[in-house]
Amino acid sequence: MEKIQLIATAPQGLEAVVKRELIARGYQITAVENGRINYEGDLSAIADSNLWLRTADRVHVLMGEFTAMTFDQLYRRTRELPWEKWIPVNGKMLVKGKAQKSQLMSVSDCQSIVKKAIVDRMKEHHDVDWFEESGAPFTIQVSLLNDRATLTMDTSGSGLHKRGYRQTAGEAPMKETLAAALVLLSVWKADRVLLDPFCGSGTIPIEAAMIARNIAPGLGRSFAAEEWPILDASVWKEAKKKAYEAIDYDTELKIYASDKDPRMIAIAKENAIDAGVDDCIKFTVRAFDGVGLKDPYGVIITNPPYGERLGEKQEVENLYRQMGLSFQKLTTWSKYIITAEERFERLFGQQAFRKRKLYNGRIKTYYYQYLGPRPGSK
């Protein structure tokens, strides 16, 4: 089957996590750059990638890359690409754009030229003078960086963080993709206890349960490429069938989630039901320091309030000091805490084994990692 070039886009700092996901699914990586991982696959890879990638933002088909220092170059090279292979005569074409450090910095002009080049190519191929664009949507992205144009088509539609289970969120919601990345970057496995004492709407424990149960994150939603004629409906049907068959209903999980706000716990329970993992998580209305778990070698993964987002700065600083006093009593546990507070280690009272810079939306955060002993070693 013919190979196509695909791009999985990723939030800054998570490229390596997305790369590991793709390799685990058997794809050959061709390049890793800031915010994108290039890989090869066949047409079925579009369905597979959208259904299974937990930490990527979107999946794009790479249509072409070339130098474009003039509008004429951009038009000619865009027109050379085989758009008619992908877009039917009634396809609805939307062109988006961005430009950095390039001769062509007018994004609107670049969008117009790319759209004209595609339409002219399609007119020639289909022998028509006008397109009604009443069919499936095709979102084309033209990106210019250092005078190099990259043309892609978005297969995902809505961002992949929109799993479909979170109908309601809290005041400072974390994207599902980031929550999944926090779990994948930890030492937690399905045979260990997991605790999120600031669970909010439940995103971290829900993503952990979906990972442990091997539930494809895209099973509860649809994708733009499902409407594309080039991808037969049987491709999506088979991919979803395999995903349902892969779910592990038997593994017993010990996932605990708590929050002091009863309204958030009610929301978290509803989200867990919609995600199909409500039987995996025990939700409790409780302050973080009231957690009374006795299990050894557990793992805490949590997203406590940030001074920049929730509460007063002094209150948050006091909270981090209290967390340090409480969490350090769990000497055999591993703790993973994401926060925007750069002085967290000092407030918490312990230097992290490792910290990783990540972005929670537009907010720069650090993922502080405190490793406990391996199970059975102490």
Give tens-digit pLDDT for 85-131: 999 999 999 999 999 999 999 999 999 999 999 999 999 988 888 88
Q: How does the average pLDDT of the chain come out, rounded? A: 93
Contact 53, 217 (CB under 8 A): yes
Residue, of 310 and 74, whose pLDDT is higher: 74
- For residue 95, the cross-strand partners are 140
DSSP secondary structure letter of residue 55: S
Spatial distance between the Cα atoms of 214 and 76, rounded to a whole number of angstroms: 46
C-alpha atoms less than 13 angstroms from C-alpha of 94 in its C-beta half-sphere: 11
CA distance 155 to 174: 23
Fold classified for 4-154: VC0802-like (3.30.2130)
| Domain residue ranges in the chain | 4-154, 176-215+225-370
Q: Are 156 and 163 in contact (CB under 8 A)?
A: no
Mean pLDDT for 303-316 is: 77
Task: Please report the pLDDT score of residue 345 as a whole number.
Answer: 97
**306 pLDDT band (50/70/90 cuts)?**
confident
Gap between the Cα atoms of 221 and 51, Å rounded: 9
Q: What is the pLDDT of residue 310?
A: 52
Query: Looking at this protein, which amino acid is placed at residue 341?
Result: E
DSSP, res 169: -
Pairwise pLDDT comparison (109 vs 374), residue with the higher score: 109
Q: Which residues, in sequence order, are bridge partners of residue 152?
A: 62, 141
Q: Which CATH number fits domain 176-215+225-370: 3.40.50.11900, 3.40.50.150, 3.40.50.300, 3.30.70.1150?
A: 3.40.50.150
pTM of the model: 0.94
- The tens digit of pLDDT for each residue in 283-302 reads 999 988 766 677 889 999 99
**Element spanning 205, H or E:** helix 203-212
